[in-house]
Amino acid sequence: MPTQTKENYLKAIYFLTTSGEAVTVTALGKSMQVSKPTANNMIKKLAANGWINYEKYKPLQFTERGELEAALIIRKHRLTEMFLVEIMGFGWEEVHQIAEDMEHLKTEELFDRMDEMLGYPTVDPHGSPIPDKEGVFDRKSYASLSSVGVGGKAELRAISDSSVALLQMLNEKGISLGTKFTIIKIEEFDKSMVVNYRNAEEVSLSHEVCKRLMVDETTYSVRVSKDLKS
């Protein structure tokens, strides 16, 4: 079994764990797009490696070693993405696939050097946290733009789904991390939002897009209720 495959399973378990989902064989199979028996087979191998604890009919759990291993792969992935964007001038929509390959390299020094050159960033170009060498990262909880009410203001901090198509669309609309939105109107029919940003004219964003835009309301929040009172 190639190491790369094992590492991709570790990542999948990591993402399921951090999203708060129970890591079952079914969930893992679905996320890796393999059959249940295939997933089951791999789980036995990961358990033999000492990366996960597995009891039949119970959700999988990382061992401390397994969790660190997964975090370090994600660290390499996100450092690569940041390096490609910040140092090499790639667009944020161009870097994921390259990072998918780079994350399996064993040359730790390369990634340490990237980290240093970047000034030890804590987030990647899509706003996802970069674990440090101990696997520790700041877990920030953002709200999705779709949860902000009319009159609310919110700043874009992360994209929950960094698919090329979505990122390209955001590029076309001039939306990037740090963009400050004001919600003008929410359509009752399909929950699409009319928003204002960067002094742009009013722009309509679909609910599917708004759901994936993770924003920080705490600093810029103007609640409708508060507006009405003042």
Residues that bind Zn ion (CB under 5 A): 96, 99
Minimal distance, residue 48 CB to Zn ion, in Å: 29
Minimal distance, residue 77 CB to Zn ion, in Å: 6
**Distant-in-sequence, close-in-space partners of 166: CB < 8 Å, separation ≥ 6:** 159, 209, 212
Task: Using the minimum distance from each CB to Zn ion, give the nearer residue, 166 or 193.
Answer: 166
On whether the CB atoms of residues 11 and 99 are closer than 8 A, the answer is no
Task: Using the minimum distance from each CB to Zn ion, give the nearer residue, 99 or 213.
Answer: 99
On whether the CB atoms of residues 74 and 67 are closer than 8 A, the answer is no
Q: Which helix (H) or strand (E) holds 73?
A: helix 64-86
Minimal distance, residue 124 CB to Zn ion, in Å: 7
Minimal distance, residue 98 CB to Zn ion, in Å: 9
Helix ranges (DSSP H) in 87-150: 96-102, 108-118
Task: Using the minimum distance from each CB to Zn ion, give the nearer residue, 103 or 217.
Answer: 103
3-state helix, strand, coil in the chain (%, to 5): 45, 15, 40
Q: Which helix (H) or strand (E) holds 3?
A: helix 3-18
Task: Using the minimum distance from each CB to Zn ion, give the nearer residue, 60 or 99.
Answer: 99
Residue nearest to Zn ion (CB): 96
Minimal distance, residue 116 CB to Zn ion, in Å: 21
Task: Using the minimum distance from each CB to Zn ion, give the nearer residue, 50 or 91.
Answer: 91
Minimal distance, residue 81 CB to Zn ion, in Å: 5
Place of tokens 């699409």: 192
Q: Report the SS3 class of residue 209.
A: helix
Nearest of 224, 166, 174, 165 to residue 201 by alpha carbon? 174
Task: Using the minimum distance from each CB to Zn ion, give the nearer residue, 11 or 96.
Answer: 96
